[in-house]
Structures are given as C-alpha cells and as structure tokens.
C-alpha cells in the first residue's frame, strides 16, 4: 500500500539525514514530501559547510497531518532550533503523536519533541549533546544506534542511518500505534 510521509525540515538540516531517509522511503514506492516553513528551496549542511538546496514540496501552513502516514525529523544543529521556534511546526509534530502515527527523529531532530511535549516516559536516543535536554523533558535516553518506543524511532547521528531507515520503515508499515501518545 502506498504511503505518504512528511519530512519536516528547514535551512540547516544535515544533508544525509534528509536525503538518506527520503531515498529509502521512495525505494519502498512511497511518497516523501519535504515540508518546510516557506516555499522554494531549503539549504542543507554537510561537513561543516552549506551544501545542496532541496525543493520544498509543501509549505507547513498548508500541510495537514491527516494527509500523511508518518513524520520524519532530520537533524543538523540549525534545523531543529529554527523549527522549534515556530508554533505551527511544534503543533504539526504534536499532531502525529495525537493521531498515534509513527515519528522518526535523528541526531538533533528530537529537540523539537521537547517543545511538542511528547517525551515524558519515552525511550529515545539522539546526538549526545542534546541528551540532557531530552532527559529534562522526561525521556529515558540511551546511547544506542536506534531506539524504538511505540512508533517513535530515534537515532544518534548519520552513522546510524542504515538502522534508522530500516526501523523507520518497519514502524510505518505497522501503521497506527495505539500506544503512541502525547
């Protein structure tokens, strides 16, 4: 069955953490829309420098969680920090948890989950520098390649992308997770 996946990102996302999951989702025969704050393109970050631009498929103000089966949150230092400042982005993320849909976040991507207030009691991982932020939001952080908790998939960094992509697709194939919660 064809799935529609939202990838929420803005300028400063870690290139591999968007490109790799997007390609992997599309290999499944699924649609993966880049959803962002504004139309046009967003610029990636790679090896400490600005890199390629990616086309935005859907502007966040026009995006609706009901149109998607899951959400992917790439990292990068700049990307999640800019997104978490925007109430529409935080609400969009939270809506996936309210609808019990799979959410996959890698590296610094889980930072927006703090603002969405969805981490209490959840098992997660992330880039090590944000672990205290996640713990302070009530998460149980562990240093693992990939952590899955009732539809929430998290990984630490680009090295974990193969495991992240595999688990993300498994959770999406499972569909609604009744134990996914806000």
Catalytic pick from 3, 94, 101, 108?
108
Distance CA 110, CA 141 (A): 11
**Rounded to a whole number, what is the distance in angstroms from the first to the last CA of the chain?**
27
Q: Which of 8, 13, 20, 4 is nearest to 113 (CA)?
A: 8
Asked about 177 being catalytic, the answer comes back as no
Q: Which of 41, 60, 38, 37 is nearest to 52 (CA)?
A: 41
Residue 60, SS3 per DSSP:
helix
Catalytic pick from 107, 116, 124, 161?
107
Catalytic residues: 107-108
């Amino acid at each position: 069955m064809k799935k529609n996946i939202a990838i929420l990102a803005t300028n400063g996302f870690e290139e591999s953490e968007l490109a790799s999951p997007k390609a992997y989702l599309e290999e499944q025969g699924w649609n993966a829309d880049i959803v962002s704050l504004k139309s046009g393109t967003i610029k990636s970050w790679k090896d400490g420098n600005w890199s390629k631009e990616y086309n935005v498929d859907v502007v966040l103000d026009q995006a609706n969680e009901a149109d998607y089966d899951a959400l992917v949150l790439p990292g990068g230092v700049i990307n999640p920090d800019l997104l978490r400042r925007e109430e529409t982005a935080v609400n969009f993320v939270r809506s996936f948890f309210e609808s019990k849909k799979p959410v996959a976040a890698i590296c610094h991507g889980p930072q927006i989950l703090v603002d969405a207030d969805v981490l209490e009691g959840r098992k997660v991982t992330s880039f090590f520098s944000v672990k205290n932020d996640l713990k302070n939001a009530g998460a149980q952080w562990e240093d693992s390649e990939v952590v899955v908790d009732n539809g929430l998939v998290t990984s630490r960094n680009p090295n974990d992308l193969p495991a992240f992509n595999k688990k993300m697709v498994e959770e999406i194939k499972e569909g609604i997770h009744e134990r996914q919660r806000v």
